[in-house]
Chain A
Amino acid sequence: MNRLPAIPAAAVLISLLMVGVVLSLTQGAVSMPASGSLTAIWDAVFSSDRSGLLSHEKVIVLELRLPRLLLAMLVGAILAQCGAVMQGLFRNPLADPGIIGVSSGAAVGAVLAIVVLPVAWQIWAVPTAAFVAGLLTTLLVYSLARSSAGTSVVMLLLAGVAVAAFAGAGIGFLSYFTDDTRLRELSVWQMGSLNGANHQLVLLALVGFVVLAIWFQRRAGPLNAFLLGESEARHLGVPVERMKLELIVLAALGVGIAVACSGIIGFVGLVVPHLVRLSCGPDHRRLLPLSALTGAVLLMLSDLAARTLVSPAELPVGLLTALLGAPFFLILLLQQRKQWSLSGA
């Protein structure tokens, strides 16, 4: 088996991340001197004034591009890690928060909070509602799909279809009764976009990411054992039931935060862990951190493309990741079909 060692792989990813950061800060609908955009960050940190940018240009860099860039990285990392954890938990490489409907469920919660609750509550109510709805969806899908031999892919995907359809109807229903100003906001939820980025959301995503990344990393060993099978994990001393519940809650928390920050961005959680497994192996101790890095790079570059390809207009980034991810998903599905026909199932 040819595998890349983890440290060089991480080094490459970090360099890509740096390049992406510079590009994201300097490129956009408003053209500004590249060096000035970068110095503006320096200025903001050390309260100097060397950038030579006009004050509205500084606002563009510091209030628009920077939070958006940070949010893209954090959401990408969270989604990739949650994808990796769900795949471990479901013992199935096709599990992804978007595909199995968890993101849709979380989005219904978020939209419900937007429509029903007063605007002043939204800062905390939207993430909370997204988390609760995401958790309920995960538990539902999990109980539908589980069987003694792991989880059934067919049930997993069907449950995803059903939940997504229900969620689509729910969001449609809510948008039918809401006013025009909120309507546009709602459509963004369904397609996924990072243009609502602000400091509060960045802070929420940052706290969420740090907590999840540390916690998941401590569960890397049990997640590996999980892949052997639930009984095998139990025989290795893993408290299986508790661990499953804990990981389901944490993954739903991650998806809830991601959805609250940026709506439904699909396929990051599917594509990223798969790429990392292909290149660096399935050991969660390496898979989790490398997935976070790759997810950050992928979503940041996708968002950069989303806001520069058709500038000055912009695409929802969820459309781009779906464009990228859906064919990838089909290829994975074909591979699985080959495995099934080989095993005679």
Chain B
Amino acid sequence: MLEIRDLLVEAGGRRLLQLDNLTLPAGQFVALLGPNGAGKSSLLKAISGEVGCRGELLFHGQSLRHWNPQERARHVAVLPQASSLTFPFSAREVVEMGLMPLSLSRQAGADVVRAAMIDADCLHLAARSFPGLSGGEKQRVHLARVLVQLVQAEKTPLLLLDEPVSAQDLGQQHNILRLAVRLAQQRGITVLAVLHDLNQVLRYGMRCLVLAEGELVADGEPEAVLTPHRIEEVWGYRPERYTTEERFALL
């Protein structure tokens, strides 16, 4: 569905990311891991078209650059890490902005917005003023907005999540990860998420991409990828690994 070939992202003469070949199939939940500055954000930005890059990004067989902006917005959504909105929109109005690239009747739009806000557990915030929400609440409102944005996709959509759980409390972290798993399994959405907690990756068993210094160093099942040896190589910390009831945990 998304094929990346010979991708090169540079800034100021410095190589931020180099990927020879990467394919993300439909309906897969993919975790993007790596230390700070490894190129995770560069990858998301290259896919979402925010930074210039060389190489090919084929989405459903067509270069992402050649997608019509409106059409593309219905198929590729990006959850930002933080929000700079300071104007006093209500949370519901922010979610409703996700309707912009769509063509839905008023009633259908309202239903979609409501459903997305329930999914992202922010319906109770609907009437609150957005700038007054906490960081985690703001991010969940944006999550609802990007979910709305993808409801009219005709082909498998792609959802890019930039640190979707780093601002959330423990309960919300798992809600959001479960939601992402559900989106991938039930609606066939391909989800690419920047994550930091390796145990969450082990717990939800998604495919892992590990980036280090702008290159892909590992790609595969979490149990195979997240060995103490590799973690030490990439993050400079050697964890202990425990096995309980057919699951691993890292300390």
Q: Which A positions have Cβ atoms within 8 angstroms of B?
A: 1, 91, 93, 149-150, 221-222, 224-225, 227-229, 231-232, 234-239, 277, 281-283, 339
- SS class, residues of chain B in contact with chain A: mixed
Q: Which residue, of B50, B80, B86, B129, has the highest number of chain A Cβ atoms within 10 A?
A: B86
A227–B131 alpha-carbon span in the complex (Å)? 12
Max count, chain A CB within 10 A of own CB: residue among B50, B72, B89, B98: B89
1/0 per residue, CB under 8 A from A, across B90-105: the answer is 1001100110110000
Q: Is the CB of B89 within 8 A of A282?
A: yes
Cα(A271)–Cα(B90), bound, Å: 22
Tell me if B88 and A236 are in contact (CB < 8 A): no
Known contacts A150-B84, A277-B87, A238 near B94 by CB under 8 Å:
no
- Point out the residues of chain A lying under 8 angstroms from B94, CB to CB: 228
Chain A residue with the shortest CB-CB distance to B98: A236
- Residue among A221, A225, A235, A237 having the largest count of chain B Cβ atoms under 10 Å: A235
Q: How far is the CA of A150 from the CA of B83 in the complex (A)?
A: 11
Q: List 28 A-B contacts (CB under 8 A).
A: A1-B88, A1-B90, A1-B129, A91-B84, A91-B86, A93-B86, A150-B84, A222-B100, A224-B89, A224-B93, A224-B100, A228-B83, A234-B48, A234-B49, A235-B73, A235-B76, A235-B77, A236-B97, A237-B70, A237-B72, A237-B74, A238-B100, A239-B69, A282-B87, A282-B88, A282-B89, A283-B89, A283-B93
CB distance from B191 to the nearest CB of A (A): 15
Known: A150-B84, A236-B149. A221 touches B100 (CB 8 A): yes
| Docked-complex contact A238 and B69, CB < 8 angstroms | yes
Best-buried of B80, B87, B89 by chain A (most CB within 10 Å): B87
Chain B residue numbers with a CB within 8 Å of A339 are 86
Complex Cα distance A227/B94, Å? Answer: 10
Which residue of the partner chain B has the closest CB to A224?
B97
When the two chains form their complex, are residues B85 and A228 in contact, meaning their CB atoms are under 8 A apart? yes
Partner of B100, one of A1, A93, A237, A282: A237
Give B contacts to A, CB under 8 Å.
48-50, 69-74, 76-78, 80, 83-90, 93-94, 97-98, 100-101, 127-129, 149
Given contacts A221-B100, A225-B97, A281-B93, contact A234 B50 (CB under 8 A): yes
Cβ contact within 8 Å between A231 and B87: no
Contact indicator A236/B89 (Cβ below 8 Å): no
Q: Which residue of A lies closest to B49 (CB)?
A: A234
With a cutoff of 8 Å between Cβ atoms, the chain A residues found around residue B127 in the complex are: 1
CA distance A282 to B78 in the complex (A): 23
The docked-state distance in angstroms from the alpha carbon of A149 to that of B81 is 13
B73 — which chain A residues lie within 8 A by C-beta? 235-237
